[in-house]
Amino acid sequence: MTEISLKRATADDIPELVRLRNDVSETLAERYGIGHWSANVSDKGVVFSMKNGTVYVLKESDVILATVTLSARKPWAIDTAYFSSAKRPVYLTAMAVAPTAQSKGIGRRCLEDVVQIAKGWPADAIRLDAYDAEAGAGEFYRKCGYTEMGRTIYRNTPLVYFEKLL
């Protein structure tokens, strides 16, 4: 079995998670303009993520390069009518890779780790939604082997539901 690089985030990671998430939001806003992807997060928002899901981080030399949040609970924005009949899905509710670490395979590695983590929960599918716009990650998830299950419009932006069966 492949060693998992993602580790569960701790309270000590909160300030750096805020910085990482806000760096990503600001970079997306600079590239693509203001949108759903450009909202900043606070310490309170990260703590909320940790209470409502499991936040993981990928670190190099104690610097967080990426973060992923998983939850066994369905997020309110996900419409299960689009998905397979998987009995134990896990939801990938957030993912961010530091702007300086993007396009280096780190996001793909995180998704490989997510598969291993989900299998251990145990889950039989990974579900997520992603914006299918310039600032969105729809194409990234397609390239990483996630299957498009359906589309909707969320606040005038195309949203795609993706699933990976385990």
How deeply is 1 buried, as exposed, middle or buried, from its count of CB atoms within 10 A (0-12, 13-18, 19+)?
Answer: exposed
Domains of the chain: 7-165 (3.40.630.30)
Q: Give the pTM.
A: 0.92
- Cα–Cα dist 99/113, whole Å: 20
Where residue 13 falls among pLDDT bands split at 50, 70, 90?
A: very high
What percent of the chain lies above the pLDDT cut of 90? 77
**Cβ density class 10-42: b for 16+ within 10 Å, e for less:** eeebbebbbebbbebbebbbeeeeebbbbeebe
pLDDT at 1: 41
Phi and psi angles of residue 81, each rounded to the nearest 5 degrees, phi first: -60, -20
Helix (H), strand (E) at residue 104: none
Residue 116 has pLDDT above 50, yes or no: yes
* pLDDT tens, residue by residue, 16-75: 999 999 999 999 989 988 877 888 999 999 999 999 999 999 999 889 999 999 999 999
55 SS3 class: strand
Q: Output the six-digit token pair for 20.
A: 């990482």
pLDDT at position 93 is 95
**Phi, psi angles (nearest 5°) of residue 112:** -65, -40
More confident of the two residues 154 and 45 = 45
